[in-house]
Structure 1
Amino acid sequence: MQRVTIVSPALAEANNGNWQTAMRWAHFLTPAYDVNISASWSPVTGSAPDLLIALHARRSAAALAAFAEQHPDRPRVLVLTGTDLYRDIHDDPAAQASLAHADVLVLLQEAGIAVLPPRYRAKARLIWQSAPALPHVPHAAGIDEFTFAMIGHLRPEKDPLTFMRAARLVAHDSARFIHIGGALDEQLGAAAGDTAEADPRYQWMGNLAHPAARMALACSDALVIASVMEGGANVIIEAVTSGVPVLASDIDGNRGMLGAGYQGYFPLGDAPALAALMARCIDDPAFLERLQAQCGARAALFAPQAEQAAVRDMVDNLLIARHAGTH
């Protein structure tokens, strides 16, 4: 059986989007291939796989370079993250080298190709991520609450401060704000604690296991994603496949997921604008229904069977080409 190694610098303990992608792809490729997930790869770690999939251009650069040098005839796939597309490939030599070492560059949202250097665009391939549908769980009868969820570890790239500031600007007593994610930045963790102390409507729940975070999202009325950069946020997909509308920072990575005409964007870092959108969701049922309909129109893109077919097709064809001598 042919072997595939997925290099993911983020492993299970990180509990982030990269790890979820690695796990999903490993599941999709098994049992057709012998798949393992590793934090890295080097010639001394054992026999080489038939194909290498690397997540993160900068953090997987050493593994990708070593595999390209030792086994130039074996195919290499690079999955580009948000920090890759919108930061590292423009100023980090290791990330730039990874673009050259890969045979295929996987983008997770449709706006990403325009960010790639033109000479690499022919290697680009769009694969939408997916999530199983988990039905929205409405509030119990008589409960007058509207819950906004933000899910993602507290780090500057996710801009959690905008969510915290917006929460304190929303005047509605019915509003609730749940914030899920570990504090990867000490100051952001302190800010979350201060916000919870100042406003009892805001609850920082810390790092939750993925199933618990997914259920909390399904029980929410809207997702907020305030990120500065995104390669294709899996949490957007989880919201869409649960019928939960999204309020998103107006950045390429979010537009590439939700579409250019989506009406739930707010300017990056603009807490008053986000607060106004939140208030509108509560006050204007027709607006909320419009966001739900726009998200629902994207749901078919994020079906697990479609992602599995795309991943299998890519790997199958790369290995067929290698054995045919055309790689």
Structure 2
Amino acid sequence: MLKVALITPAGRGSRAGNRATATRWARLLRELGCSVRLAAPDEDFRQPHLANPPPDLVIALHAWRSHAAIRASRQVFPECPLVVVLTGTDVYRFQHSHPMTFLDSLEYATALVGLHAAIADDIPPRFRSRLHTVLQSALPLPPGAPGPGRRYFEILVAGHLREEKDSLRAALAVRDLPSDSRLRVVQMGRAYSVEWAHAAREEMACNSRYRWYGDLPHWRVRQWMARARLMVISSRMEGGANVVSEACVAGLPVIASDIPGNRGLLGDDYPGYFPVADTEALRRCLLRVERDPAFVAALREQVLARAPSFRPEAERDALARVMAACGLNCQARIAQVRMT
């Protein structure tokens, strides 16, 4: 049985995207016959539970935040293959603000993983031969999930409140709409600072079309996916948001900011993009969605066409291909899983 050390900067109990990815990957790697141990970037790799026996593979989520662990794993296990997973803040922030740390992590890596299909264009060319794409998966909504409400045209925003997400853009876009509009924005996610929480509460106080429900468990988010008519993803940067995968599998149309991380999941021909931080453009998109059923149908057709790419078995097979690139063969186990 292959032993995998999976490093994530998001601790136990966190609802951050890195923790969700690590938890899901641990399950998929176990399906491939691996023994998986989750570790924090500051753990001592000489501890018995990590070093005896040594891992056959180390996977580190986040090149910048896990840099110390990436270096330590190379020192303690110099022969062990190392996979570094590139996040949105890695590629679109820390690559520019902390280039030495970011590039050092990439130099150590046996293989690199990007979570959307366009990330190769955004890293130095010399690393592209090591890059593999693993699209994050999602499960379909449970049978009998409630459908959209009739009173309001509810728009879902699911993601923690922080600068990278441009979190209040949808709320700003539904201010001062025509009185006959039924558009309402429902947002959920933890505020990353007191300032973001205050901003969300202030917006609720002055904007009757906006409600923020805070950090809800995942099952509640999925309930809202079933109820909403549309999802808005307004991020300034994304490494490949899992919420896009979930929307596609749920058949929930998406209006998304025009950034590589969204295009790398939805495709260049997707008709539902708006310019980053452009409130007026987003407002026009939302009013069109409310008034143009044919446009909504086209968006839904596109996300459903993308849904097979986000199945759990597709993500598991992509992880197996990354392992094969590192010299670790899981093909027999994949064949066994597919037969069961």
Aligned match of 1:121 = 128
Taking the aligned partners of 1:185 and 1:270, their CA distance within structure 2 comes to 23
Deviations 1:239-270 (A, max 9, x none): 11101000101111111111111111111001
Unaligned runs of 5+ in 2: 330-340
- Tell me if 1:3 matches 2:3: yes
Q: TM-score, normalised by structure 2?
A: 0.90
Aligned match of 2:79 = 73
Taking the aligned partners of 1:164 and 1:229, their CA distance within structure 2 comes to 19
Taking the aligned partners of 1:214 and 1:65, their CA distance within structure 2 comes to 38
Taking the aligned partners of 2:27 and 2:328, their CA distance within structure 1 comes to 21
* 8 Å contact from structure 1 (residues 90, 96) kept in 2: no
Taking the aligned partners of 2:12 and 2:45, their CA distance within structure 1 comes to 24
Aligned match of 2:47 = 45
Between the aligned residues of both structures, percent identity stands at 40
* 8 Å contact from structure 1 (residues 170, 276) kept in 2: no
Deviations 1:153-193 (A, max 9, x none): 11100001312211214334421211101110222211110
Pairwise CA distance, 1:316: 4.9
Taking the aligned partners of 1:184 and 1:14, their CA distance within structure 2 comes to 12
Taking the aligned partners of 1:38 and 1:145, their CA distance within structure 2 comes to 44
CA RMSD of aligned residues (A): 1.6
- Stretch of structure 1 that moved more, 65-74 or 51-60: 65-74
Match of 1:195 among 193, 200, 203: 203
Match of 1:262 among 262, 270, 273: 270
Aligned match of 1:105 = 112
Taking the aligned partners of 2:35 and 2:18, their CA distance within structure 1 comes to 20
Question: Residues 28-67 of structure 1 correspond to what in structure 2 (within 5 A)?
Answer: 28-30=28-30, 32-40=33-41, 41-46=43-48, 47=51, 48-67=54-73
* 8 Å contact from structure 1 (residues 128, 301) kept in 2: yes
Taking the aligned partners of 1:177 and 1:39, their CA distance within structure 2 comes to 36
Q: TM-score, normalised by structure 1?
A: 0.93
Distance 1:33 1:278, change over 3 A: same
* 8 Å contact from structure 1 (residues 164, 192) kept in 2: no
Pairwise CA distance, 1:57: 0.6
- Tell me if 1:159 matches 2:173: no
SS for the counterpart of 1:3 is strand
Unaligned runs of 5+ in 1: 322-327
Taking the aligned partners of 2:68 and 2:199, their CA distance within structure 1 comes to 36
* 8 Å contact from structure 1 (residues 161, 188) kept in 2: no
Deviations 1:76-123 (A, max 9, x none): 001110011112123412221100011111011111001110111100
Aligned match of 1:324 = none
Taking the aligned partners of 2:134 and 2:204, their CA distance within structure 1 comes to 38
Pairwise CA distance, 1:317: 5.2
* 8 Å contact from structure 1 (residues 218, 239) kept in 2: no
Taking the aligned partners of 1:149 and 1:205, their CA distance within structure 2 comes to 11
Aligned match of 2:307 = 299
Amino acid corresponding to residue 147 of structure 2 in structure 1: P
Match of 1:180 among 175, 188, 210: 188
Taking the aligned partners of 2:47 and 2:175, their CA distance within structure 1 comes to 51
Amino acid corresponding to residue 184 of structure 2 in structure 1: R
Aligned match of 1:325 = none
Distance 1:258 1:44, change over 3 A: same
Taking the aligned partners of 1:65 and 1:169, their CA distance within structure 2 comes to 52
